[in-house]
Amino acid sequence: MKSDVEELMPRLLPVETCGIETGEDFNLNEPPRNPQEYLRQVQLEASLCPDVVVAKIDPKKLRKKQTVNVSLTGCQAAPQGFSPSLKWQRQQVSNFSEIRRSISKHRLHWSGQALDDNVFMPKQDAEEQWKKFCLGENVYLNSPPTDPVTEDPGLDYVKGRWQYALLACLEKPLLPEAHSLIRQLARRSSEVRAKLEHQEDERLSPLNLMICLVARYFDQNDLADKED
């Protein structure tokens, strides 16, 4: 009859159990000589472990004050009347999808062709040169961005276009770093939006757009705006 442990964790390999119960001919201090002996030693080690292990906890340590860091992962709710409609959000996602398809076509077109001699493309890891390339040297020198996420989104038209272009070029599935960065971008956008005083503020639409694309297109649904 199978034990309760075997019912929960059935054996996946047909290994003979001869000698397992008594530990005959097995020395756990010596390396196994073949695969069969290795599996039998694993069985022996498992048989020596108790089915249930209870951790010993000192109650006095639990009474001490502890510091707990809470990380809020969602966006701040939009003020009343500042949240975009679902129809508007769907339209932005549709437009964004079309732009990404266009970018894919251009990538295929240029992949086998040389760039114009007048176009200087920075190397992949040349971060500062890419910022100059994307923003233009004049904008970069007058107000160099440290990071597209930490900059206030929607406050500068050129930087907003840069952020939009970066999102359009992100390839799926997202790398963990990219996933974290776009969520930061959406959260930061919601923080700036929450401080706006009136719906006619020209920053509202770009901020809503960043949140919409991160949430709706890149499937970060917990960050999505709901209709008022």
Closest among 50, 74, 68, 19 to 226, alpha carbons compared: 74
Residue 223 burial (C-beta neighbours within 10 Å; 0-12, 13-18, 19+): buried
Give counts: helices (H), strands (E), the chain: 9, 0
Residue 150 is predicted with a pLDDT of 47
DSSP one-letter code for 54 = -
Contact 223, 186 (CB under 8 A): yes
Query: Hey, what are 23's tokens?
Result: 């530990």
- Looking at the predicted structure, is the pLDDT value of residue 13 above 60? no
Average predicted confidence (pLDDT) for the chain: 77
How much is the pTM? 0.59
Mention every residue, 6+ apart, whose C-beta is less than 8 A from residue 13. 39
In tens, the pLDDT along 98-114 reads: 999 999 888 776 665 55
In tens, the pLDDT along 18-66 reads: 444 444 555 667 777 777 777 777 777 777 777 677 777 776 666 655 5
Residue boundaries of the structural domains of the chain: 1-63, 86-111+123-223
Q: Which fold has domain 86-111+123-223?
A: Methane Monooxygenase Hydroxylase; Chain G, domain 1 (1.20.58)
Separation of alpha carbons 193 and 77, rounded Å: 9
- The residue that leads in pLDDT, 66 or 226, is 226
DSSP secondary structure string, 4-44? HHHHHS--SS----TTTTTTTT--TTS--SSHHHHHHHHHH
Phi and psi based region of residue 34 (left: phi greater than 0; alpha: psi -120 to 50; beta: remaining): beta
- 71 falls in which pLDDT band (50, 70, 90)? very low
- 215 falls in which pLDDT band (50, 70, 90)? very high
* pLDDT, mean of residues 190-207: 94
Radius of gyration for the alpha carbons in the chain, expressed in angstroms and rounded: 29
Estimate to the nearest angstrom the gap between the alpha carbon of 81 and the chain centroid. Answer: 30
